[in-house]
Amino acid sequence: MPWLRFIPETTNIDFVGWRYYAFALDGLLVLISIVSIVLQGFNLGIDFTGGALIEAKYTQSVDIAALRTKIGSLNFGETQINYVGSGECDKPVNSCVEIRIQPKNQPGNVVVQKVKEQLAGYQIRDTNVIGPKVSEELFSAGVWATVAAILLISVYVAFRFEWQYGIGALVATGHDVFVTAGLFSVLKMDFTLNTVAALLLLAGYSINDTVIVFDRIRENRRKYKRMPLSQLINLSTNQIATRTTLVSAATAMSMLPLLFFGGPVLFNFSAAILFGILVGTFSSTYVAAALLLYLPAPAGAVDEPAESGAKA
């Protein structure tokens, strides 16, 4: 029904004309991320610093808050306790827990032994001590996996469209991942394997929006062969602005329950995705598309000085 439409099907916003303000805001975000990462780095979690991992089962549903207080009284350092498992762990529900401890100055084996002493009545299902070397390798592998994903995505876009689009995709996707990683540094949120998974997922989501913009630009380029590139970008972006807004809003709403009710394990993951959706929607227009103005014009496009875009 027409009266249900609260967002217009098409908009008439001068995206290209506002690009300098967007560049300033974006540059500030990147600068803050760089300064924070250089000065204070990341608050690496147990996955990347080493520690002890214990999986245990109780005869009843575990009161995880009480168990956190009990284990926390040992003052080992960072402690994460979460429900895990299925099958026999569902009888009763939430009867299995995973305890991750990042010890300050004590060997992992000593930590495991002391935690076991606090778990009277529990069945110890598994124990594992993650050494510093393994944790360093995990961190390196996570970083390289993220970089490789961004590069391969860019190569695909360059092959599927043209090399100018590939550069735009590389810069935009890398920008989204880097700024989101910077958020973890600025707020000192735990940087874990879940964070790496969120960054990889974000790279895929970000390129989806970027490809939608690029595809519409290419389609309009065939229709309006003599239209200046700045006007072509404005036209294309306005045509998909409503679609992009609704999709981003729907995706963000689906992440809100995980953010508020997913517990401490999923909080960082959900926060990364939500922030990445906002940054990714922004970068699709003001990084990926706007960058085309400063590269050699794609085949079939009318080249023009970048400054003329402000009058589009």
pLDDT truncated to tens, each residue of the chain (312 aa)?
454 455 566 667 778 888 888 888 888 989 999 999 999 888 887 777 777 888 888 888 888 888 888 887 777 777 778 777 666 777 777 788 888 887 766 667 778 888 888 787 888 888 877 776 777 787 888 888 888 888 888 888 888 888 888 888 888 888 888 999 999 999 888 888 888 888 888 888 888 888 888 888 888 888 887 788 888 888 888 888 777 778 888 888 888 888 887 766 678 888 888 898 888 888 877 777 888 888 776 555 555 544 444 343
Do 9-43+134-311 and 51-130 share a fold? Answer: no
- Architecture of 9-43+134-311 per CATH? Up-down Bundle (1.20)
Q: What are phi and psi of 147, to 5 degrees?
A: -65, -45
Report d(CA 102, CA 76) in Å as an integer. 7
Domain limits of the chain? 9-43+134-311, 51-130
- What are 180's two structure tokens? 């989101």
CATH topology for 51-130 is Alpha-Beta Plaits (3.30.70)
- Three-class secondary structure of residue 78 per DSSP: strand
Contacts of 158 by beta carbon, 8 Å cutoff, 6+ apart: 165, 166, 167, 169
Task: Look up the pTM and report it.
Answer: 0.75
